[in-house]
Amino acid sequence: MAERLVRFLSCDKPGCTARFVHGTERHLTPPTVLRHEAHAAGWTTDNGDYCPTHQGWPGFTAWALPSRRTYLHAALQAAGTPVTTEGAVQLLDGSPYAAGRNTIRKQLRGLARSGLLTVTTRDGRTTYHLIHSTGDQ
């Protein structure tokens, strides 16, 4: 079966009106060719089509991550410092995965259960430490 031909790619970020056009809008192109050209022009095309303005933090596309927990882990890696629940809430504030303390606490506990964080409690305050790939804290 032949590929459906398209005129342009639109950014998948809600509210964004950016378009990537190969040639003119009258020119029909296979989506694979169009995505290849868009990628060369700075678009992210792996988990959706995102213009260069909406590509999230360096190293990953924030809008294309599969879960809040994965997003939180990436945010903790970017921060590089131990966090409390409140610190994690502030890290996610303004992101598509912003949530309250209870939800973030559940996500932090889940990351700890999966072996990505260690937990320390001092004076009733719980702090989460990122476990680096070398095994150091």
Question: For 40-92, how does the pLDDT look when each residue is reduced to its tens digit (9 = 90+)?
Answer: 777 777 666 767 776 654 444 444 445 788 888 888 988 889 999 999 999 88
Q: How many helices (H) and strands (E) would you count in the chain? A: 4, 4
- Give every CB contact of residue 54 below 8 A, 6+ residues apart in sequence: 11, 13, 16, 18, 63
Check residue 23 and give its pLDDT: 66
Instruction: State the average pLDDT over residues 94-103.
Output: 86
For residue 105, is pLDDT > 90? yes
For residue 2, is pLDDT > 50? yes
Q: Give the number of other CB atoms < 10 A from CB of residue 11.
A: 22
Alpha helical stretches, state H, 41-100: 68-79, 85-92
pTM: 0.51
Check residue 62 and give its pLDDT: 43
Smallest CA-to-CA distance from 126 within 76, 86, 99 is with 86
Mean pLDDT estimate for the chain = 78
Better-scored residue on pLDDT, 14 or 10: 10
- Type of residue found at 17: T
Structural contact between residues 101 and 80, judged by C-beta atoms closer than 8 angstroms: no
Smallest CA-to-CA distance from 97 within 74, 117, 67, 73 is with 67
> Which pairing describes strands 117-122 and 19-21: parallel, antiparallel, or unpaired?
unpaired
Task: For residue 83, give the 3-state DSSP assignment.
Answer: strand
